[in-house]
Every structure is written in C-alpha cells, then in structure tokens.
Amino acid sequence: MNLHTINTGLFKLDGGAMFGVVPKSIWQRNNPADSNNLCTWAMRCLLIEDGDRLILIDNGIGDKQDEKFLGHYYLHGDDTLDKSLAAKGFSRDDVTDVFLTHLHFDHCGGSIVRDSSGRLRPAFKNAFYWSNAQHWDWAVNPNDREKASFLRENILPIQESGQLRFVADKDGVEFHEGINIRFAYGHTDAMMLPQIQYKGQTIVYMADLLPSVGHIPLPYVMAYDMFPLQTLKEKKAFLQEATDKQYILYLEHDPVNECCTLQQTEKGIKLNKTFDLNSI
C-alpha cells in the first residue's frame, strides 16, 4: 500500500465559525484572520494505492459553482485536484473508488463536473462513490441549518449515474484490507473517518472531527457542527485513544500541517509532533 497527499487548493472560512465559543483573542494567536475575519484552510485529500485499487478520500470543493458562490470562499493557491493527481502519476480516470467522509461541499464538490454542454456528470467515470445510507438520507433531506452545505448538484448526480455505493454504517466495518471506518455524529450525521494500517502504524483521516492542530483543545469545537456536545464527547474519547495508541492524525483542513501525533501532559492532551505524510 502507498499513500499520497492530494492537495486541492486553499479556501477561507470565518474564524469565529471555525472556533465556536472560543474568543478570537485566543484563537487568532495561532490562526490569524484577515480584515474580514477569515482564516485560510486547506482541502487536503488522500490517495490510497493498493493493488488494483486507487482510492481517493474526499475531493475538495471543485470548480463548477458560479463566481458568486466561489466568491464567498476565496479559493486560492496553486494546487488543484488534477494537478496533484498528475504529480503522483495518475488521472481521474485511474481512480477506482471515491470515498466521501461526508457530503459537505468542501469535501465532495469535486465529485461532479459540468461538461461543455452544461450537463452534470461524475468526475471519476471509472469509480464507485462510497457513502453510507444514514448520511446520504441526512444530506438529501437536509435540515434548514445545514442545507447550505449540502448542494444537490454535488450529490444527486452521483446516484443518478449508478456509481453510488453504501458501506455498512457500523463502527469498525472494513472498507478494504487495512482500512476500517470509524463513525462520528457530532459534526454531521454519520461522518466516516478511515483508519488505515500503514507501515506498522495507524493513520486516521480526521475529516471534520479535528480540522487542524489548532482544534486539539477540547472546547475548540466548530460552530458548523450540528451537535457540538456530541462532537465534544467523540473528540475527547478519540483524542485519548489516539494518544494512548500513538495514532498518526491526517489533517484535512490544516493549512500548514499534514500529520500530527499527540502527547499526554499534566495539562491534558497536547500536540506532540507535526510532519508530512511522506516522512512516515
């Protein structure tokens, strides 16, 4: 098995929304905001190469939305999904599986493209797209608070293509040899976190349970989370497990750090080391 970092670009989100009840005077020390109170975040995906399978975990925001929509998020940086795949020697047509941790637009927007005729079609024509039935239903029948994150043009064409597949919504279910799925329910219903055995170590793709190293302190829970107390419970239990077992945490939204480990201190669980995936 080989793992490859796939960077799809940077975007901006409101710092207050990203850090919830934590005051700006505290979070801005490590995550400085611009004049509009916006902080820069990554959309870092993961490519798993194993035998005849090429599995892409999440795929960024895509580029099919109109200028007004994209203008809210200030996309920037030199990285794109296609450019990052090409740098690893692959194209979208090589991908066999697109694993979607959840269906918020910054995680699944690259799933669907708009062709020259304006028709929406899967960006990965040879791949199955993987979600789970519980989260899919949550996304296609969204609540009023979250529906702005679930864009129908990112989601429904997957099902219409016949390429949609569901994994069993059971914690620990095996997706592929060496890859098991953890479920979390605080950020959104039935978000999936791949847990990967790699070179004798355990890597967990954190999605939005832990967006960045700046979110390690327990109270740092995003205002975007649907059920913040559930996130707090899940995060506390996971961080303790990750510390005890020395998991490597792969960070989807941290603009600087790809991976980290944690350590137990007298003041609780803290950041231990940060490093790039290719150093493992």
3-state secondary structure of 149: coil
By the 8 A CB rule, do 191 and 235 touch?
no
Alpha carbons 194 and 183: distance in angstroms, whole number = 9
By the 8 A CB rule, do 8 and 39 touch?
no
Contacts of 202 (CB under 8 A, 6+ apart): 195, 196, 245, 246, 247, 248
CA 162 from chain centre, in angstroms, equals 24
pLDDT in tens, the chain (280 residues): 999 999 999 999 999 999 999 999 999 988 999 999 999 999 999 999 999 999 999 999 998 988 888 888 999 999 999 999 999 999 999 999 999 999 999 999 999 999 888 899 999 999 999 999 999 999 999 999 999 999 999 999 999 999 999 999 888 899 999 999 999 999 999 999 999 999 999 999 999 999 999 999 999 999 999 999 999 999 999 999 999 999 999 999 999 999 999 999 999 999 999 999 999 9
DSSP 8-state class, residue 207 = T
* H-only helix segments in 20-146: 24-27, 67-71, 81-87, 105-108, 133-140
| Per-residue pLDDT at 169 | 84
| Per-residue pLDDT at 172 | 87
Indicate the length of the chain as a whole number: 280
What is the pairing mode between strands 120-122 and 128-132?
A: unpaired
Alpha carbons 168 and 185: distance in angstroms, whole number = 15
Tokens for 230, please give them: 């559930």
| Per-residue pLDDT at 66 | 84
CA 257 from chain centre, in angstroms, equals 14
In 3D space, the residue among 190, 184, 146 whose CA is nearest the CA of residue 166 turns out to be 190
Give, for 259, the enclosing helix (H) or strand (E). Answer: strand 259-265
* CATH architecture of the domain with residue range 2-279: 4-Layer Sandwich (3.60)
| Per-residue pLDDT at 68 | 87
What is the pairing mode between strands 201-205 and 248-250?
A: parallel
Contacts of 20 (CB under 8 A, 6+ apart): 219, 220, 221, 222, 223, 225, 228
| Per-residue pLDDT at 275 | 97
- In this structure, which amino acid lies at residue 261? T
Residue 86: count of CB within 10 angstroms of its CB: 12
Q: Render 217-239 in DSSP notation, one character per residue.
A: STT---TT-SSHHHHHHHHHHHH
Tokens for 157, please give them: 């064409």
| Per-residue pLDDT at 194 | 98
Alpha carbons 78 and 154: distance in angstroms, whole number = 23
Alpha carbons 183 and 101: distance in angstroms, whole number = 9
